[in-house]
A and B are shown apart, each in its own frame.
Chain A
Amino acid sequence: MALEENNKEQSAANSFFMLPSFVLSLIEQVLNQALKLDPSLVDKLKEVEHQRLLVEVRDWQQKIAITYANQQLHLYTAVEHADADCMISANINTLLALKNPAMLTQLIRQDKLDLQGDLNIAQRYSSAFSSLDIDWPEQLAKYVGDAPAQQLYLHLQSLQQQSKKAKSQLDSTLISLCQDELAITIHPLELVQFKQQNRALKSQVAAIEQRINALIKAL
């Protein structure tokens, strides 16, 4: 019940303050700042200039259109029938785990990720993203002065919820992977490695969550 109320309030807040757009605009700013600091990425992304990658985050029910143009990344919420040169669709934990482009094909084979269109585009973008080393909470905190505090508070809260969700999903994915899939499809060594990576990711998520908590308290 309380959860339902919460959800309702959240979706009202979403449409009134346009939270998804707001969050995306912050992420876009942070990404572009990071891009400026890493000129090598400009070359990497040059090849996909004006190519549009659509990313569907299944468990968030959000679609994001990403375009690199004029040495900047442009992130927008994607509307229905948005045309793109490549589309990938996966849960957030899968997307977060995308550390190198080679994993793309692996994830597709495992049915964890759908891809339509030009694989090369997804690979380019994902390799650029994964080489950006961004301290998200710290970067987002820089915008405290810019944005109305209430909006940021809501934004951080939703981030917090999302990271919690990501964490619990990682847990359940891991369990189900261990129980049924991995035993038949993956070499035990790979499994060990996968578990290690997951553990690292989990602790990263936990750390982010802690920092967000600290930020919320500081507000």
Chain B
Amino acid sequence: MNENPEKTTHFGYKTVAETEKASMVADVFHSVATKYDVMNDLMSFGIHRLWKRQTIASSGIRKGHHVLDLAGGTGDLTAKFSQLVGDTGQVVLGDINSSMLKVGREKLHNLGLVGNIDYVQMNAEALPFPDNSFDLITIAFGLRNVTDQNKALRSMYRILKPGGRLLILEFSKPEQELLSKAYDFYSFNILPTMGKLVANDSESYQYLAESIRMHPDQETLKAMMNEAGFEQTTYQNLTGGIVALHRGFKY
């Protein structure tokens, strides 16, 4: 992607930059909430939808299940879960950030999905539910933002029903050196630029790139899950390990 500064001014991105700056808040997700879905598609070339489909495919979700879509943001997973659990089931869209929850609620309402979805503001480290409440917990691209991840994993374990499963979809470590290099270049150079052009927010996307690199790799996360009590823990690399889907059960 060749950035042409003249073209940029010509298209008037700068003006947008000025007007939106005021609404920028310290919290990354307050600032990306409204552009979140567009950016997701752009940044991943739409592949995030397939990563999410794989998550649903691995979820074992059935009618009547109780599901927590943790750090659920704009509710992509919740939308599917809500349909698949039917009217006897229940989905909780949980997120720490009110702006993301608001965007999510509006989106799902517009899709006509009402009746079996609850929107609850919560911190993954201290989940506000009794023990043994859920058949399924998913956390997609959320765990890396959580400060104390071990505490969060223990909290998830506590509220899962025996037999229930946790799915963690998260950026991880590419399997191959070359892919890893290309990916680094992409996320530290191209990503923040896209973030700037589309969401007027290169810092948030710089943060994204950095937080991805800080996140534990496949084996480390698997060990953390076991540590928290999960059993039959496995993971599946998606797109060459750029993303991994971890799965664990509570018995």
List of B residues within 8 angstroms of A18 by Cβ: 47, 50-51, 54, 238-239
Stretch at the interface among B30-38, B80-88, B154-162: B80-88
How many chain A residues touch B (CB < 8 A): the figure is 26
Q: Which of A16, A52, A77, A148 contacts B57 (CB 8 A)?
A: A77
Q: Per a CB cutoff under 8 Å, which of A25, A74, A148 touches B84?
A: A74
Given A50-B63, A67-B84, A74-B80: A148 in contact with B46 (beta carbons within 8 A): yes
Within 8 A of A (CB), among B50-85: 50-51, 53-54, 56-58, 60, 62-63, 80, 82-84
B84 pairs with A69, CB closer than 8 A: yes
Instruction: Report chain A residues within 8 Å CB of B239.
Output: 15-18
Pair B53/A70 contact, Cβ less than 8 Å: no
**How many of chain B's residues have a CB under 8 angstroms from any CB in A?**
23
**Do A76 and B238 have beta carbons less than 8 Å apart?**
no
Q: Does A21 contact B (CB under 8 A)?
A: yes
Residues of A within 8 A of B83 (CB): 69-70, 72, 74
Q: Is B49 an interface residue (CB 8 A)?
A: yes
Residues on B facing A (Cβ under 8 Å): 45-47, 49-51, 53-54, 56-58, 60, 62-63, 80, 82-84, 86, 237-240
At the interface, yes or no: A118 with Cβ under 8 Å from chain B? no
CA distance A49 to B85 in the complex (A): 11
Most chain B beta-carbon contacts within 10 A, residue among A50, A65, A79, A82: A50
Chain A residues in 8 Å Cβ range of B53: 21, 24-25, 76
Of B57, B62, B84, B86, most buried by chain A (CB within 10 Å of CB) is B57
Cβ of A76: which chain B residues have Cβ within 8 Å of it?
53, 56-57
**Could you list some 20 contacts between A and B, CB below 8 A?**
A16-B240, A17-B239, A18-B50, A18-B51, A18-B54, A21-B50, A25-B49, A25-B53, A50-B62, A50-B63, A50-B84, A67-B84, A69-B83, A72-B83, A74-B80, A76-B53, A78-B57, A147-B46, A148-B45, A148-B46
Q: Is the CB of B50 within 8 A of A25?
A: yes
State whether the Cβ of A83 lies closer than 8 Å to any Cβ in chain B. Answer: yes
